[in-house]
Structure 1
Amino acid sequence: MTGTNHMPEPEGQVSDAVKGNWVDHLAPAFTRPYLRLSRADRPIGTWLLLLPCWWGLLLAMVHDGQASWFDLWIFLSCGVGAVLMRGAGCTWNDITDRHIDGSVARTASRPIPSGQVTTKQALAWAVAQCLVAFAILLTYPPMAIALGVLSLGPVAIYPFAKRFTWWPQVFLGIAFNWGALLAWTAHSGELKLPAVLLYIAGMAWTLFYDTIYAHQDKEDDALIGVKSTARLFAEDTPQWLSRFLVATVALMGMAVIAAAPDGNILQMVILLVGPWAMGWHLLWQMRQLKLDDNDRLLMLFRANRDAGLIPVLIFAGALFV
């Protein structure tokens, strides 16, 4: 006995959950395994799925020079949809990885390998989340609905990517940035070049932040044969992150230039502050990087919420110019 008192860990808490999160301390006990499957105790993933949606919506509003009450619905429903689809995607990921997760220190405490829920219960939960998200999607224009349905393909494939490619983060980027295409189309009713450029910029950003994240698991991944860009790049990771940073800023800048109304130079300049300032945040992350410090890696990964919010705030401000 040392005489030091420690608060007991909540039963079933996942090892990499945010400490003191509301799921472990406030949610009814019977809901906790399902909320943990949805990563409600780790909200950063929801932010990373949501932010490209808001980029696409706001840039579409700038491009068209108009806003409506329906845009407010798109803004809010993207938030609800991000929670649901991130939850469904993570649940599906845990189902497909249930045998792998038990062999990795960071994931062994997840609900399926730790026995909190069965595989059938998890599958039912994934379907329920998808159905609610689909109900929201039906309020969008036809082309946006079609894009939303197509997004299920990358979501379904992603968990298997680390088994057959060293670049599973590309598949994550395809899935996680789909909202840039969807939200633009929900506003305008059609897909245009700026949304595609924004989408690819988001993919480069995903390669940046998820490579940082994957370095936490590189030793366990090597033991069980799981591939990742963290293992592929190894000590060359900083050089690759620099390339992804440049690609993110350049492609988002191109999207801004393509979307900005002709003749409004001031508005274009303000919009370009978004990718420029985001780039500085990514550069700060690189300067803080320590590839063998898992606490630092997790902190930097989570910092990408703030990085992605920068263009949201700048694009929103440009609407008033």
Structure 2
Amino acid sequence: MSPNAPRSSGGRGQGRPQRSGRPQPGGGKAQGGPRGAGGKAAPGARRGSAKRMTNDVKPAPQPPRRGPGPIKAHPGTDVHDPEGVRLQKVLAQAGAGSRRACEEMIAAGRVTVDGEVVTELGVRIDPTRQVVHVDGMRFSIDDELVYIMVNKPKGVVSTMYDEEGRLNLADMVGPREERLFHVGRLDLETEGLILLTNDGALTHRLQHPSFGVQKTYLAEVRGPVKRDLGRNLRAGIELDDGPVSVDSFKLVDSKPGYALVEVVLHEGRKHIVRRMLEAEGYPVLKLVRVQMGPIVLGDLKPGKNRRLTRGEVQQLMAVAGL
């Protein structure tokens, strides 16, 4: 089925990750996944079953979450940087609208920089260190920040480097100047969605369970599935490292001797989905992560990768409370 903390929000040049080009499994180079002899896809990518589990099933919608909005700055804070770029230009480049539309947003008081409402069109800012919100939604304005979705195939290690020389996530995206970090892990046998980024603040919030960012998995198990399985998992079960519960559970498909179930949770413990289902008597035959917060794997093929759209990045920031 299918961090090293990156840069911080400090000043220019502070907290920036060292550059290195490490790719990722599941995502091929910019134009496709790693290839073996004869141009075949990366090992472990099972097209038929992966397609059935990721394309034919619509992941459960994520519950609406609101970020805290822009952090209030101290009254009178001067956000103008004489060496910076005009705010309306930065917003237009970030996809907020045309230059004219961005000027109107600023004049209307809808834009904040570092929590300070800005209404003057002559304000300049530094996109690499300052935070901009429009109507309470944060915009990614630093062009050096990268956000990539990878569909990790089975057999690929969820690291950016492997001492044993096994296929890893770096191999999925090819050589890059940025030092990328993976958001969470998938075990060797698990396929699906992994995000790579050099945005440290976002990485932390997406991984830490206290922020409640949900992950959706599709699991193949031997059927039939008992009727009270979902109720038991929602109520919580005891594992050797403590109790755990799912946010939601759904039986997607059932045939003689086979069942496909959807599990949604914000836990990030090792092998958590496999251990939960096995504890209830259902060892996992195949596991794919199909969604993380608002980001859906969709029809991205195993071994392939793509950059997130500006809209997807904004949605991620909103669900992470940035």
With normalisation by structure 1, the TM-score equals 0.31
Point out the structure with the larger helix share: 1
Which is higher, the Rg of structure 1 or of structure 2?
Answer: 2
